[in-house]
Structure 1
Amino acid sequence: MADDSRFRVRYRLLADNPQDADQRALGIALEQTVEIPGDIVPKGYISDEIVGQIESVRHLGGNTYEAEISYSPDSAGDEIIQLINVIFGNSSIQQNIRVTGFEPGRVIRERFAGPRFGIEGVRARSGRGRGGLISPVIKPQGSSVRQLADIAYRCTLGGADIIKDDHGLANQTMAPFGERVKAVSAAVAEANARSGGSALYFVNVTGHTGSPVDEAFQAREAGAGGLLLMPGLMGFGVVQALSRDPSFDLPIMTHPSFTGPFVLTPETGVSHAIMYGVFQRLAGSDISVFPNVGGRFGFSVEECLSIAEACRASDGIGRPMMPSPGGGMSVERAGDMVSMYGEDVVFLLGGSLLRAGEAIGEAVRAMRDAVDSIAA
């Protein structure tokens, strides 16, 4: 009977023959744990428990194999950084190895709470009980604080559920972090009061002070309704720290910047579902942004659907989270997108909205109406 306390990782390997595949799997099991040759691994607890255990190696066809390796939760502790380090630390630097699956096991499920808010919590905060959420992005970089606040105000009046900072808005002199957070938060609050809405402003935190956690609390005090983080640049540890802090009670959205090299090469890295679904939920993100099919980044329908499934899977870590496809969304494509993703999704609206100029609020309303009419 399999030990349900251990977590399991599936790796797709390229190997010349079954013997080579077995040796590659053994190399991963050692590399990801003790990082020493097998003949000098200390006997007892380390060899029996800590070293990765090869559960199976099977031939998928051609020179492709799949290895399943189980690991002790003791090797990961309760840190997201160390857990990912065990899943695919040093082996990520080797060629022709790709992570395609992850089973957390009983102990990791107990140690990692996952999203604090998840789908139900985000809906409760945004006041949108059903249907896809609409999230325009305030941009472009170079805009003044006043210009960004005006865009946020108009979009909120138009029926947006989430006003998201563009991930390129940091602490530039054109719109410094502190000023931007206060002004946009105030604009969204004013528009909510006027319209009776509950739109949330998600602030981009980059750690410009050296402490992204402190900046997150500054944003909260200034009136932010949520947070945007880039774990590909700042690490998943920041996401985990904030999602676990009982005094930080805002939902977290994670952005895919800098993560492309992990998923784009089929022979290496990790699957799209692992990067934008599993890892985000493990860290405690509530909304995971990823490039939408039909946009400028080239993700396929299958890849996007696998991400959405991992975000919302009932057997994932903690509460199901909201997938958030960005790019390729328009009134004309609303039907296809709702059919593809269903209701529990955050649709990002980017640069195309800016073409509406001062009528940007009406453009958001048109998108809101299109999504609602299809879901009805």
Structure 2
Amino acid sequence: MTSLSAQIRDRATGFHRSYWLPSTVTMRRWALASVVVNAGITVTGAGVRVSKSGLGCPTWPRCTPDSFVPAQHDAHSAFNMAIEFGNRLLTFLVLAVGVACVLAAVRLVRDIDGDGRGRRDLVRLAWLQPIGVLAQALWGGLVVRTMLNPFTVSVHFLLSIAMIAAAYAMFARAGEGDEPPRRLVHRDIRTLGFVLLGAVGLLLVAGVVVTGTGPHSGDDAASRFGFDIETVARLHADIVWIVVGLTFALLFALHLTDSPARVRRAALVLFGVELAQGVIGYVQYFLAIPALLVLLHVLGSTLVWISTLRVVFLMRTRDPVDPEADGRAAATAGDAQPLEAAAPHGGSA
């Protein structure tokens, strides 16, 4: 019993130190946790929709007109209320992780200009998490009050995508110093990466249009976009092929120029995730969009987004934060070049 108590105490102490006396490692862990919880609540939000629980709690901020928690309500089943209320509770987990990111970023001791203060850009990125959660909560209230209008539902999803991007940027920057960024790939390849990122963003927008036009509205009372479902589905598929083509071109260019192995591996992972996502998309289309495959498709969309962000951030580097990280970076990215320098293989910058 004493040993168990000591283990619990040690774990509690370590947890407290992770955000109150943080290191670069623990800061990155909190940032990664923020990526995970934001992606998780995006998928569970889709679960609310496909289970027809979007109005399981018909009011906001209360669950029912008279209660903040699920209560007897003639118009909604206990199951639907539990699903919707459970998703609302997950918001507090995302908020808690966001607050921990802010605390860790503010208190992170960095040897910058001799002042030992947390780096300002990291603090700004961290603050986007709790602020984003509050914005999402307020927008979620609008979603309920508009009876799941497809526009408000679409924006709700896209806000989560934006929060994932901010969380990943925080994760990437947490382990970097403040030196100017240095390219690891040819300038044109890096530009192609940004084009790919924009194409994936467009793909996500097209995806929510398809979702807002098709079935699984979240409730029988919800409205739908007035588009033809065949037309928007085909447009979405066309953008998918553009994204896959850009990714293949990026992967080919990275191998052709002998870019760093970790960048090539990240691009290969992205390509694999896109292919898997494409298979799920076509299967769900031909099977009349079953709920389980919709959930997998939403999960796949978040993974495509995160994988694309990873590729873009790995294409450049900065001096690492500490000497130990500097040693690791020197071993894996010794061919990094300043943005102003010539590109690999003598190409122009």
Sort the TM-score into its range (normalised by shorter chain). under 0.3
Larger relative contact order (CA 8 Å, sep ≥ 6): 2
TM-score (norm. length: structure 2): 0.25
Higher strand share: 1
Higher helix share: 2
TM-score (norm. length: structure 1): 0.23
